[in-house]
Amino acid sequence: MAYRDTGFGFGVLLTPMVKRLLIANVVAFGLTFVAGAPFVIEWFAFQPTRILLRPWGAFTYMFVHGGFLHLALNMLVLFFFGPPLESRWGGREFFKYYVICGLGGVAMSFFFLPAAVVGASAAMYGLMLAFAMNWPNAPIYIWGIFPVQAKWLVAFLFALSLLSAFDGTQGGGVAHFAHLGGLVTGFVYLKGLARTGGRWGGATRPARKRRLAIVPQQEEGGRPSGPRRERPAFDEDKALYDAVDRVLDKISSHGMASLTPEELKLLDDMSKRHRAN
């Protein structure tokens, strides 16, 4: 499964938080072989019937996987859908959303599924939902061949999880209630932030004040030396300024060292354009 759209592709570099989550999940999977799967599942899975004895399981279950295929599928989703979301939101908000969707899977499983639950699937379903809310028409290439718009893929996954969760079985050991919990929690959270004017959300993010502005030079006496300019010189190029704002957010969260060569070039080009004006 892969996506291609303007600004996306296989050339997208891993963002810092996505990289940390990938490493954490792979390391936890390796430790499963060292300590033994029964021990890890017993102590670090989420078990609704033992929530008072092992409350940490509500968080640690997201890093425990039942097999290599289970891990690989979840990490593939994180690899492709995580970087564009973290680039837009910042690492801290991305991780916050990731955990909230995982806890949503816990809540749904607690009420409907008494068995132990492992895996990051609830968080992954939340990431796919967030991607579809931000880029609904981006084509997702199933098996690298069949294009499906993100919004329809997520709608299909929601319908599949809903039907599978309430058909009376949990076939194949799949925790459909956890998947459903990640989707529902992510949707409610994103929509709630959009309605209340939160810092970030789904496709309807509130407009932000531009960080870039051109201030006219002053003559003696405080009068401007040229015509007053209340807007940036390139205000009409909204997409360019949005890209610069995202880079500045990334610098605030992770510092200059986290920038990719493309992001550094964008800042340099913008700086040259403003100096020329």
Instruction: Tell me the pLDDT tens digit for each residue of 53-84.
Output: 888 888 988 998 888 888 999 999 999 999 99
* Best-predicted range by mean pLDDT (13-17, 129-133, 244-248, 250-254): 129-133
CATH for 2-195? 1.20.1540.10
Q: What share of the chain is helix, strand, coil (3-state, %, to 5)?
A: 60, 5, 35
**Torsion angle (degrees, nearest 10) of CA 159, 164, 166, 167:** 130
Please tell me the distance from the alpha carbon of residue 13 to that of residue 254, in angstroms, as a whole number.
15
Q: Tell me the domain boundaries of the chain.
A: 2-195, 238-276
Determine if the pTM surpasses 0.75.
no
228-276 pLDDT, tens digit each: 444 444 444 667 777 777 877 777 666 666 778 777 777 777 776 665 5
Please tell me the distance from the alpha carbon of residue 71 to that of residue 186, in angstroms, as a whole number.
21
